[in-house]
Amino acid sequence: MEWIQQLINGISLGSIYALIALGYTMVYGIIKLINFAHGDVFMVGSFIGFYSITVFGLGFFPALILSMAACALFGVIIERIAYKRLRNATRIAALITAIGVSLLIEYGVIYIRGAQPEAYPDVFSNRSFEFLGAQISMQSILILSVSVVLMILLQFIVHKTKTGKAMRAVSHDTEAAKLMGINVDNTISATFAIGSALAGAAGVIFGVYYTKIDPLMGVIPGVKAFVAAVLGGIGIIPGAMVGGLVLGVVETIVSALGFSLWRDAAAFIILILILIFRPSGIFGKNTREKV
């Protein structure tokens, strides 16, 4: 019984990592930028959801959609202001800018509203029911189902729509895509919009599931999502999902074995091992990078 419960705990945690990792991996896949500000977009999304529920009195789903829309816009603004002009700069310059943007968002939010934590309102039934002797809360089911729906939606966008086709083309070869008449700038903006919307959704779900939100809440999940993306193969969408779930389950198992203080360490040991033995991740093909 205990193990079924632990598995459920792990999957719930993993779905949140997976949702954040999806945005991470998309941006990396298209413009090879490790967007360290992604975790902070997640935080902003969580606060937008919080204020739309408490101030505007919206329900869970309207708040989720509002937060996704606002984060999509926010992501595009970040890209246009901070990253666009660095597109041909060195990778390290873009990386350092991303770290700068991350700190700017974190401390900007602290400046506006202070650093004190906030308790998410109870918008979703707190009810839980028994399943094979384990307790499953409605919230766990909600997280998993929203994550799965968004992932399916994302796969659909990437593989079936024109924008998705353009994204794949830009990812494959930016120059050639440009020659074929694809508007690269708009495609990259669309990538940021979709990735940030997913982070916003993850923020609202996180708030509902874990109750406590604060301006620095994006830091650890952001790093964990990065690990998840690398684990699954950075740039690969199903890889991010699997990587997130695996990471969540592994962390839970480590705690379940009685090593709860080693939980974060386990995540980083996974990162180190994967970088040593399979740098392209679980789903990645071992190709040399173009020079």
102 binds another protein (CB under 8 A): no
Work out which of 252, 271, 274, 281 binds another protein, going by CB under 8 A. 252
CB of 264 to another protein, least distance (A): 8
211 contributes a contact to another protein by CB under 8 A: yes
214-233 binders of another protein (CB under 8 A): 217, 220
Residues 141-170: x where in contact with another protein by CB under 8 A, - otherwise, as a string: ------------------------------
Query: Are 20 and 202 within 8 A, CB to CB?
Result: yes
Does the footprint of another protein cover residue 122 (CB under 8 A)?
yes
Minimum CB distance to another protein, residue 247 (Å): 12
- The nearest distance, CB 26 to another protein, in angstroms, is 25
Q: Least distance in Å: CB of 71 to another protein?
A: 20
The least CB distance from residue 289 to another protein, in Å, is 36
CB of 229 to another protein, least distance (A): 20
Distances from the Cα of 22 to the Cαs of 74, 183, 204, in angstroms?
17, 23, 16
Using the rule CB under 8 A, is 5 a contact of another protein? Answer: yes
Minimum Å gap between C-beta 36 and another protein is 19
Render the chain in DSSP notation, one character per residue.
-HHHHHHHHHHHHHHHHHHHHHHHHHHHHHH----TTHHHHHHHHHHHHHHHHHTS---HHHHHHHHHHHHHHHHHHHIIIIIGGGTTS-HHHHHHHHHHHHHHHHHHHHHHH-S--EEPP--S---EEEETTEEEEHHHHHHHHHHHHHHHHHHHHHHHSHHHHHHHHHHH-HHHHHHTT--HHHHHHHHHHHHHHHHHHHHHHHHHHH-EE-TTTTHHHHHHHHHHHHHH-TT-HHHHHHHHHHHHHHHHHHHHTT-GGGHHHHHHHHHHHHHHH-TT-SS----PPP-
Q: Which stretch binds another protein (CB under 8 A): 75-83, 173-181, 211-219, 276-284?
A: 211-219
d(CA 200, CA 91): 26
Residue 255 interacting with another protein (CB under 8 A) = yes
Residues 174 and 107: their CA atoms lie apart, in Å, by 34
**Candidate list 51, 73, 110, 135; residue touching another protein; CB under 8 A:** 135
By CB under 8 A, is residue 260 in contact with another protein?
A: yes
- 210 belongs to the binding site for another protein (CB under 8 A): yes
CA 39/CA 242 separation, integer angstroms: 19
Select from 65, 73, 86, 256 the one that contacts another protein (CB under 8 A): 256
Closer of 5 and 163 to another protein (Cβ): 5
Footprint on this chain of another protein (rule: CB under 8 A): 1-2, 5-6, 9-10, 12-13, 117, 119, 122, 126, 128, 135, 137, 210-212, 217, 220, 251-253, 255-256, 258, 260-261
